[in-house]
Structure 1
Amino acid sequence: MRKQWKGTLAVMTALALAGTGCGGPGGATGKGEGGPPTANIATVLTMSGFAAVFGQQQKSGIDLAVEKLRTDKVADLKVVAAEDTGAANATALNAYRKAVAQEPAVVFGPILGTMVLAMRGEIDRNSIPLITTAATTSLTQNNNKNIFRNFANSSMTIKATAQFAFDKQGLKKPAILADNTSFGSDAALLRAEITKRGLKAVADESADTTATDVTGQVSRIIRSGADSVFLQLLTGSPLALAVKTLRSNGFTGQIYAAPGMTSPSTLDLLSESEAKDIYSAGLALDTTGGAGADFAAAFKQQYGKDPDIYAAVMYDSVMLLGKAVSEGKSTAADLRAALRDANYTGVSGVFHSDAEGNLVHTVSILKFGDGKKASVDQDIDVQTEATNG
């Protein structure tokens, strides 16, 4: 049995960043007077609206890393813009435009894939690297050059989940419950994995991210005779609501939850009995000792709450960026190249870039047990077909 990891911090993850800047668009700075090398960064995160829990954790992870780099005199990363995407794609695009007007060398983007897709054209035109935790698979496809993902994409987590659930556990009657976001639309990848194995989803349901009742969907899943249900739902209340409803209505099959199951924003809404025996694909962060424990303790001391995986990967991203800055990287082009060559181990795992800009390639199948703690049942190295030219 693998050793246990704190469920509040498990999951997939990782990333890499790099940079310093120099004068001119897409990179500002150089060597600070009498201090460490400097570079400008910007954040365009979802700080309000239904997905604010993500942006707030991510911003805290970024700020903690910036302060540590400065205190340790490794690099002085200056946040020249901190914009809120709100809940709409148009607002997110305007926030991005405001941020890049300040000429950052790197932008940290929102977790919602639809927002990043709305920015995609301008990201390419500006040629400023953007780091995102959005799992929507298509973000880094189609000749992507500037978007880097510090989290396993949906294609990876779904492939790993399918291998474990269907090939190892032998489940035959899957049901699906997905939300109406671009993340939820990646349930199409699960349908393909099901079909590839000669199986059929016995129920295929959807729910709005703002839904407060999914009893109808759950009732249909139970009536279908499903032996398992796969929840492609956003972290927090959407995912917790589905789990609670499945439990309260007596669903006895296996539950496979999206990677956000490991986040405190989800787990805090569930009882121990509701979370127990749920599987979730992701990467595990060891908080029992070493760098993972130090990070978790520092985060809680600073913000009075536990970090989630989204905070951890952003923390690692900034620390990698700081390392690159300390080595003399300066422009957006330098940082893009550094991200392409990334091979870095942080508190959340190993980050290594592929041709599409994905920085995470190992997915752990986690199972929740007593105390809402998750243990690693199996690690799966996932290879996906690159589509970039």
Structure 2
Amino acid sequence: MFLKSAAIALTALLATSLIAKAETIPVLVPITGFLSLEGTSQRNGAVMAIERFGKPFDFETEVTDTGTSPEGAVTALRRALEDRPHAAIASMLGTQMLAMLPIAGRAGVPLLTVSGTAKITEIGIPWVFRFFPGDSVVKVAQARYAVEELGAKRPALLYQTTAYGQSGAEHLRKIMEELDAPLVFEEAIDISVKDMLPALTRLQEAKPDLILLHLHSGSTALVIRQARDQNISLPILAGSAMHQPTTAALLEPKQLAGVCAESASSPISEPIGPVEDFTAEYRARFGTEPDAFALAQYDGALMLIAARNSGARTAKEIRDWFANNSYDGLAMTYKSDSKGNMAHDAVVVCYDGKSAVPAIKRRYENITGVK
């Protein structure tokens, strides 16, 4: 009887140990609100990577919707930190990242993100790793394509009033000046604005030869639709939000004629190879098409798994491994520039007016020259 009881107790203890062994990776992203399309892609990429490749390390994910307020992100992070995670997937929204970073820094927990806001890696908190090219990368690609491929001399810019929008506008303003094609018009648009005609009317009065956009998904689609409905046929070179299949789905293919966009990648534009396999698996798993945000966060989560596989166990060891190693992901090779900027490549995609699937027109590799 004693032996039987001892065996039962030992079995229970082993089971408890196995349960305790599982490590939860918090996924703190905006899946409601104005960034829901982008945030859902970020979540999907992280979840897919960890579910597929994290099992040998007993990785699990716990997704928390941060909404779009800094307070929502801070609350989500503080709750996640109660379980003492060794790393977390963190919001792509710049204002949320700027609020979360000091907390993560004090706790000593690496945050993996696909936020494009430049400032998050410039404030001196060495616990953030960005797997989507920041504005210092993609805005260079956008500006160079505007001038070198589209021949722009009088570009106009519409950008969002958010931290993301202001960051991109600042970089575009400077780079276009350096390329001898200064902006002839610029206007910031609040995320709540639905009627883009007043801004488009003022833009036309400046007689631009190209429209640059640096807007979130919904605003990007509204500007393009209303511009085309008003027979504004100027070429449009948009930010990364436009490459998303969910953004293109908001428009008719004919409205996309003359529209291009910068991005880190475009999975649906890759017809063969490992990215095609990723796209097929993503489509089967989530019933939708992947975008660059999903692929970048997928690669970021896989680099976390690679760090663990290389022996990094604690939060500090993971941070140090990220800071000192490169990783060959599906979209590109990731390597820190000493500030946590891991992604240094970009692409420009264009639509032909007949399909919602863009073609990759130009690739820009290692724009920052990181070694």
Please give the range of the TM-score, normalised by the shorter of the 2 chains.
0.7 to 0.9
1:259 CA displacement: 0.9
Tell me which residue corresponds to 1:309.
292
Return the letter of the residue paired with 2:319: R
> Does structure 2 conserve the Cα–Cα contact (< 8 Å) formed by 1:69 and 1:322?
yes
Are 1:58 and 2:58 counterparts?
no
1:235-285 CA deviation, whole Å, 9 max, x = no partner? 2x1111111112111222221100111112211101111122312112243
**Which of 220, 223, 233 is the equivalent residue of 1:242?**
223
Q: Separation in 2 of the partners of 1:87 and 1:252?
A: 33
Tell me which residue corresponds to 2:131.
150
Are 1:100 and 2:81 counterparts?
yes
Q: Separation in 2 of the partners of 1:366 and 1:193?
A: 20
User: RMSD across aligned C-alpha pairs, in angstroms?
Assistant: 2.2
> Does structure 1 conserve the Cα–Cα contact (< 8 Å) formed by 2:101 and 2:127?
no
Whichever of the two has the greater Rg, that structure is: 2
Matches within 5 A, 1:201-216: 201-216=183-198
Which has the larger helix fraction? 2
User: Any unmatched runs of 5+ in structure 1?
Assistant: 1-31
1:170 CA displacement: 2.9
Which of 220-229 and 162-171 deviates more?
Answer: 162-171
> Does structure 1 conserve the Cα–Cα contact (< 8 Å) formed by 2:26 and 2:85?
yes
1:276-295 CA deviation, whole Å, 9 max, x = no partner? 23121122435423322222
Are 1:336 and 2:331 counterparts?
no
SS at match of 1:330: coil
Are 1:233 and 2:209 counterparts?
no
What is the identity percentage for the equivalent residue pairs of Structure 1 and Structure 2?
25
Are 1:173 and 2:154 counterparts?
yes
Over 3 Å counting, the alpha-carbon distance change for 1:170 and 1:115 in structure 2 is: same
1:383 CA displacement: 4.0
SS at match of 1:175: strand
1:55 CA displacement: 2.2
Count residues in correspondence. 350
User: Any unmatched runs of 5+ in structure 2?
Assistant: 1-15
Which of 106-115 and 324-333 deviates more?
Answer: 324-333
Which of 194-203 and 346-355 deviates more?
Answer: 194-203
Tell me which residue corresponds to 2:64.
83
1:177-202 CA deviation, whole Å, 9 max, x = no partner? 01111111020211112333444322
User: TM-score by structure 2 length?
Assistant: 0.88
Any runs of at least 4 consecutive aligned residues in structure 1 with deviations exceeding 6 A, and if so which?
Answer: 32-35
Q: Separation in 2 of the partners of 1:367 and 1:136?
A: 24
Which of 52-61 and 113-122 deviates more?
Answer: 52-61
Are 1:367 and 2:346 counterparts?
no
Return the letter of the residue paired with 2:31: M
Q: Separation in 1 of the partners of 2:148 and 2:279?
A: 35
Return the letter of the residue paired with 2:158: L
> Does structure 2 conserve the Cα–Cα contact (< 8 Å) formed by 1:39 and 1:330?
no
1:138 CA displacement: 1.0
**Which of 313, 328, 335 is the equivalent residue of 1:345?**
328
1:42 CA displacement: 1.0
Return the letter of the residue paired with 1:381: E
> Does structure 1 conserve the Cα–Cα contact (< 8 Å) formed by 2:210 and 2:236?
yes
Are 1:110 and 2:91 counterparts?
yes
Tell me which residue corresponds to 1:189.
171
Return the letter of the residue paired with 1:297: A
Q: Separation in 1 of the partners of 2:173 and 2:302?
A: 37
Tell me which residue corresponds to 1:123.
104
> Does structure 2 conserve the Cα–Cα contact (< 8 Å) formed by 1:240 and 1:269?
yes
**Which of 53, 71, 96 is the equivalent residue of 1:69?**
53
Over 3 Å counting, the alpha-carbon distance change for 1:298 and 1:162 in structure 2 is: same
User: TM-score by structure 1 length?
Assistant: 0.84
1:97 CA displacement: 0.8
Over 3 Å counting, the alpha-carbon distance change for 1:335 and 1:42 in structure 2 is: same
Tell me which residue corresponds to 1:274.
255
Return the letter of the residue paired with 1:250: N
1:315-373 CA deviation, whole Å, 9 max, x = no partner? 22222222222332200011111211232222322222211111111112222224122
